[in-house]
Amino acid sequence: MKTSEKNFFSTKGRINRKTLTGRSITIIAVFFAVVTHLALTDFEQFLIPILALGGVAQAFISIQVVKRLHDAGREGKSALFVLVPLIGLAYIPVAASLPADEKENEYGIAPLPKTIYASQADLS
């Protein structure tokens, strides 16, 4: 069976708007929860781990943006913009708003069909 996404941590494949939004919100929420916890304990001691975690979070989000750009039929090179600290997060809504290729493109098959539920007329 062909899938639209090869690997969760790979830039190969395609994801839809909902998947990009959900994964981005999840990773940002986890990042801020961990940072808040570490900042309340001893911020100076955990500054390097916080920065490293931020880098990992941004790299993961940029991978998801690349997949979303693939879904829109575009190269993933513009996702490098996401790696700019804090400012790059503003590119996520831009990537999420791009229209998707409804059919298979050079990056894989479409993540979801346009309509998920079949009507009664479709089943007859």
Is the CB of residue 59 less than 8 Å from the CB of residue 84?
no
Give the pLDDT of residue 100: 87
Closest CA to 95 of 77, 116, 118: 77
12 assigned to some structural domain: no
Higher-pLDDT residue of 103 and 121 is 103
| Domain count of the fold of the chain | 1
Q: Is 71 inside a domain boundary?
A: yes
Q: Would you say residue 38 lies in a domain? A: yes
Distance CA 103, CA 122 (A): 20
Structural domain includes residue 36:
yes
6 pLDDT higher than 70 = no
The answer to whether position 1 is within a domain reads: no
Question: pLDDT band at residue 26, thresholds of 50, 70 and 90?
Answer: very high
Measure the CA angle with vertex 106, ends 5 and 2; round to 5°. 40
43-100: pLDDT as tens digits: 778 888 888 888 898 889 889 999 999 988 888 887 787 888 777 778 888 888 888 8
* Residue 61 lies in domain: 17-123
Domain membership of residue 8 (yes or no) is no
Distance from C-alpha of 12 to C-alpha of 6, rounded to nearest angstrom:
6
Asked whether residue 64 is assigned to any structural domain, the reply reads yes
Q: Is residue 6 assigned to a domain? A: no
